[in-house]
A and B are shown apart, each in its own frame.
Chain A
Amino acid sequence: MSDARLPDDLDALVEGWLDGTLDAAEERRLGRRVARDPDAALRMARGVLVHDRLRDLLRVEAADAGEGRVLPAPPVAARKRSLSWLALPALAAVALLCVMVAFRPEPATAAAALDRLARVSGVGDRTYAVRVVDHGPGGPRVVASEAGGRKPGVDGARLSVRGADRFVLVRTFGDGTRHVDGSDGSVGWSVPPTGRVHVSRDAARYRRGVPGEGVDIPFIALPENLLRLRRGYRLTLEGTAADGSRVLVAERDDRRRRGPARVAIRFDAGGTPLSIAIDGLDADDAVGAADAGPRSVVLELESRDDLGPSFFDHASHHAPDRPLHWE
């Protein structure tokens, strides 16, 4: 699209965004306007409505016609008006709700088990104990105190998660003091034992220090990361144990893909992951022995207790007089 587009031509920017015809600068300009100006956001929202509904409407009509290639004859208005806005995705979503409430069958296949795990793992609060099984070539990461400027290793850490993006990771120094990283879903934060509390509008900022985050392991954002195992991994669903739990094993069979070599998830009858064993974390991204981090880690479910409304806020993890440093 031409650089001659007027800066105020918001409607044309929206149209171009929807059809994918804007260049990078124009897309950024649209994003900035929508971020800064509520009226622009509202105008864009209204501009999207017809585009969004058109797709669902026309695909429903094509499906009604029994084929996807030709638009059907004009519909009977009354019939269409009653259902037109309940287009395919809406119907599918509502049907999915009904099916999920009415039936919670045992997953028959590994892929179905994985999908179910991904769904259920985003529900409720869970706290996992982190245990390093194999420290890798760098050996155990023992950090005596915060004095050296390094964070402690994850062995013995506690990881609490809520939904897809809230987490609290508590690691302990050799001297018993704690380093806590977390996110409330919109603000990322990092609380060392002393000094400033670091906060950022990037909710994922302090996930990066967590070993394994760099290779996309299912450490924190379980739904997101579990679904990544759909591709490049061979999935196997093992039989039901005496306690009703089952184990889903994902082994990487495509070395071009990033990620751990093997993930074994034991889950209960409700689909909640009870333990997640992750092997081969150093497979691809180890820069050197010192940077490699643990090779094998197990997360074991400790609690499903509700952690309350403010647990994922940084203020719950430091004294109120600690200074904040926005990054």
Chain B
Amino acid sequence: MDDRLRQVTREWTLAQPAVAAFLTAVVRDFRERDDILQEVAVAVLESFDRYDPARPFIPWAMGIARNRVGVWLRGRKRERVRFDSDAVEGLAVAFAEIPAAEYRRLDRLAECVARLEGRARELCRLRYVDDLKPAAIAARLGMQANSVAKALERLRARLRACIEGEAEPA
């Protein structure tokens, strides 16, 4: 592995959590997010010669991601797109501003998820492994869609608290 590849790999590895979360915030659909994330990774590599190492890498990579999201949004002009370029810009800046320590704290998530039991684990599986929306989950579990949405909301709140060390997920 040459020095350039080592450097871009190291920088991208550190930036990827922020870029991925930014894409999720705008695109929402995880499969589309994965596609765009790969495109961003390729663009980062191929533009790396233009990166000024004196400047922070994450905002630079986020600029590339923002452009790719712009392309994605324009491709959906005929569909209902709720976030305009100002909203996308605001989110890109916000994700770049979150301190690295907050991203690192997410490493605790595996331990918090491992402690989930019963219905909470099932909800996690259906939402995040099977990629189902609340209405589809509700149909599987014989629940109301609104109840599933609320349960997912509470589940994520518990996991956030667990990550922050404030509480254990039940």
A residues lining the B interface (CB < 8 Å): 1, 12, 15-21, 24, 27-28, 30-32, 34-38, 40-42, 44-46, 48-59, 61-62, 68-71, 74-75, 77, 80-81, 84-86, 89-90, 92-94, 96-98, 100-102, 119-120, 122-123, 163-165, 185-186, 201, 203-204, 221, 223-224
Are B5 and A45 interface neighbours, CB within 8 A?
no
Does the CB pair A48–B102 fall under 8 Å? no
**Complex interface residues of chain B between 81 and 128 (CB less than 8 A to chain A):** 82-87, 89-91, 93-95, 97-98, 102-104, 106-111, 113-115, 121, 124-125, 127-128
**Contact across chains for B12 and A100 when beta carbons are under 8 A apart:** no
Chain A residues whose C-beta falls within 8 Å of the C-beta of B8 in the assembled complex = 97
Given the complex of chains A and B, what is the CA–CA distance between A86 and B106 in angstroms? Answer: 11
Task: Give the B interface residue count (CB, 8 A).
Answer: 82
Max count, chain B CB within 10 A of own CB: residue among A41, A122, A223: A41
Knowing A31-B83, A42-B97, A54-B128 are in contact, say whether A164-B90 is a contact too (CB < 8 A): no
Q: Known contacts being A19-B152, A21-B134, A58-B129, is A100 close to B42, with CB within 8 Å? A: yes
B71 with A223: CB separation less than 8 A:
yes
The A contact surface, by secondary structure, is: helix
The answer to whether B90 touches A54 (Cβ under 8 A) is: no
Taken together as a complex, chains A and B put the C-alpha atoms of A275 and B30 apart, in Å, by: 35
Residues of B contacting A19 in the complex (Cβ-Cβ under 8 angstroms)? 127, 133-134, 149, 152-153
Whether B114 contacts A89 by the Cβ 8 Å rule is: no
Residues of B within 8 A of A98 (CB): 1, 5, 9
Across the A-B interface, how many residue pairs have beta carbons closer than 8 Å?
236
What A residues does B91 contact at CB under 8 A? 34, 41, 44-45
Closest CB of chain B to A289's CB: distance in Å?
Answer: 26
**A49-B102, A57-B110 given; A42·B94 CB < 8 A:** yes
Q: Are A119 and B21 in contact (CB under 8 A)?
A: no
Given known contacts A31-B82, A92-B38, A123-B43, A85 and B68 CB-to-CB distance under 8 angstroms = no
User: Is the CB–CB distance between A90 and B16 below 8 Å?
Assistant: yes
Residues of B within 8 A of A36 (CB): 86, 90
Name the B residues within 8 Å of A49 (CB-CB).
Answer: 21, 98, 102-103, 106
Q: In chain B, what residue has the closest Cβ to A63? A: B129
Report the Cα distance A123→B125, complex, angstroms: 39
Q: How far is the CB of B56 from chain A (nearest CB, A)?
A: 17
**19 sample A-B contacts, Cβ–Cβ < 8 Å, listed by A number:** A16-B149, A17-B28, A21-B133, A42-B98, A44-B91, A50-B109, A50-B160, A54-B128, A58-B129, A68-B129, A69-B129, A71-B125, A85-B107, A89-B34, A123-B46, A164-B68, A201-B85, A204-B74, A223-B71
Are B37 and A58 touching (Cβ within 8 A)? Answer: no
- Provide the residues of chain A in CB contact with B87, threshold 8 Å: 31-32, 34-35, 41
